[in-house]
Amino acid sequence: MPGMTTTPDRTRVPLPGISSRAYEHPADRSALVAMRSLSGFDTVLKQMSGLISERRLRLIRLASAVRTGDTQFRALHDMGRDSAYILDLPRAPEIYVQQDPKANAMAIGFDDPFIVITTGLLDLLDEEELRFVVGHETAHILSGHAVYRTMLLILTRLASRVAWIPLGYIGLRAIVAGLEEWFRKSELSADRGGLLCGQDPDAALRALMKLAGGSRLHEMNVEAFLDQAREYDTAGDLRDGVLKVLNLLGTTHPFAVVRVAELDKWRRSGAYDVVLAGDYPRRADDAHAKITEEVKAAADSYRESWSQSQDPFIGVLRDVAEGAVNAGERIFNRFARRDN
């Protein structure tokens, strides 16, 4: 693609002490800062997880998948070590290769998380595209998304059990919908983290495009795919806007055109280059991150998104959403004044 260059291995830039706040989407970052500030929140989630046993899941992979190392999937193993080194993780997570024709990857676990890559994904991506995916999962680990995503899984299961209680189900469904929106934003965060690990914008966009269109890269074009994203944003009338909202219900990942457009936008904004130049928040300062500032950043991000969107349905909802955001800011500002 014109204007994009591939960064050779020897010049890939490490990011010592980097905080996940450097790449997290504002809506994701504000939620994470708020949850991290709640004393004992992680412990409660781990206790609530019940059937989700990290040790059990790791043993399943140990017995049924292939663990990468110096003698098994060496290249993939090295990518994991490189990603951990660039994001300055204390140790590289284990990576397992699972036989599955569906292209997928996931980060699993709380205290000792590991990564699972399917054979379908290995067959689909080239080396640099795969490096982006490994970096994406490593970024999930640095952000601690696995712990917080447990809450979504627990509430989703609970909602299915109380579906026969109309009011209870409606209330839980609203909470789950909000968590799904955060989940989707966390994927945008991890895409940025994956780009910081691979430091090859071309490969990152190719990987995301292949997840939509498969391996026939010679039949695809990133600029044309970005045109699809613009058409998706502007398409149709109010009916299409409503349908786009309905299509997101129950989903935890943004659609492929949205991910490509958002990652390309973040890179072109200059934020990517700023981080590589060493200007980024440090992990040592995470405890001092202010919830009110992060909520304001999230609100500003949504405002910018709404103002740039050509979706007619977004135009109808903009005033209502703006009022909700303003109300949320007032609540947080009131608590902030009490703390001062």
List, by residue number, the catalytic residues. 137
Q: How many CB atoms lie within 10 A of CB 310?
A: 11
Q: Please check whether residue 103 is in contact with residue 68, taking contact to mean a CB–CB distance below 8 angstroms.
A: no
Q: For every residue of the chain, which 3-state class applies, written as one string?
A: CCCCCCCCHHHCCCCCCECHHHCCCHHHHHHHHHHHCCCCHHHHHHHHCCCCCHHHHHHHHHHHCEECCCCCCHHHHHHHHHHHHHCCCCCCCCEEEECCCCCCEEEECCCCCEEEEEHHHHHHCCHHHHHHHHHHHHHHHHHCHHHHHHHHHHHHHHHHHCCCCHHHHHHHHHHHHHHHHHHHHHHHHHHHHHHHHHCCHHHHHHHHHHHHHCCCHHHCCHHHHHHHHHHHHHCCCHHHHHHHHHHHCCCCCCCHHHHHHHHHHHHHCCHHHHHHCCCCCEHHHHHHCCHHHHHHHHHHHHHHHHHHCCCHHHHHHHHHHHHHHHHHHHHHHHHHHHHC
What gap in Å lies between CA 241 and CA 233, rounded to an integer? 9
Q: For every residue of 191-254, which 3-state class applies, written as one string?
A: HHHHHHHHCCHHHHHHHHHHHHHCCCHHHCCHHHHHHHHHHHHHCCCHHHHHHHHHHHCCCCCC
β 66-67/114-118 pair status? unpaired
What gap in Å lies between CA 77 and CA 92, rounded to an integer? 9
